[in-house]
Structure 1
């Protein structure tokens, strides 16, 4: 922390994290090709994604790869590795599967393989605090860290910086950094050359 301005540390420390999700991944013995790829449940806290309808290679013929996502908070889960955590994870997954079965009849009876990820899972595998799937809060008015840091030559390009989370935003973040490092006029010339070829 010695190299950083205390105001910068306070600013970053004060940023809120985005929400997380409970993600239930299913392989089901059902042909769901007539369903849309994404379906939002009426309460908008729940989403069904039939991934194999976007990419048929994700499931054998006549079967489907289904992702069920429900809003979840890191604090809703007991510590990872405890029996209480496993019980909570199982109970919430069952609730989400029941909800999805309202949209896709017989779904819960056709599950071949199942995996469940909680905010703790996302935190464990990505290192993002609270398993915040979009890193810092995405609300309007949230000022994410700028690509330049107070340390000369240290740049930030990620879902945690401006302009935000998502593939397109992260690519833009990287381009902003690269353009600044190369000098903005040079970056423009390179883009113009590549668009002509």
Structure 2
């Protein structure tokens, strides 16, 4: 297997990022997001979101790190630096191509997100939100030292309040110091 290559995303990467992101949501967010949305508008919505996000990035407030193999996108992580005064920098998305799960790509992307926080944010804290139903992702983050700190309703795009007894909940998982995350990932 050829080695992974990591780089920061550019505006012309929006289409490929949106395709991977939409596939991930379709696989993991059924039951929280409406099937009609996941089977319909999710691709267009994410394409517009990523096009806007990457065009507006100043290289100081966010970074989207891509993992590629043989020139093909296999995963990405997006970090918003200093997003919250208490919780620090937000890992807003971490997605890996379904066929590449359990190959270490997510671990490497998480480590690179932590290093980006250490290099570019004013503080070392890092956090993310994960849907309550996404237990596999929760387990992954726990392995790397994330602590569950709170939950909050997450009004989903195309959400179906009849499912999950209303609006789905997101769990905030946090690392008070990304240095520790980086070290624990290095030792795996």
Per the TM superposition, whether the score is higher than 0.5 is no
Q: Larger strand proportion, structure 1 or 2?
A: 2
Q: TM-score, normalised by structure 1?
A: 0.30
Q: TM-score, normalised by structure 2?
A: 0.31
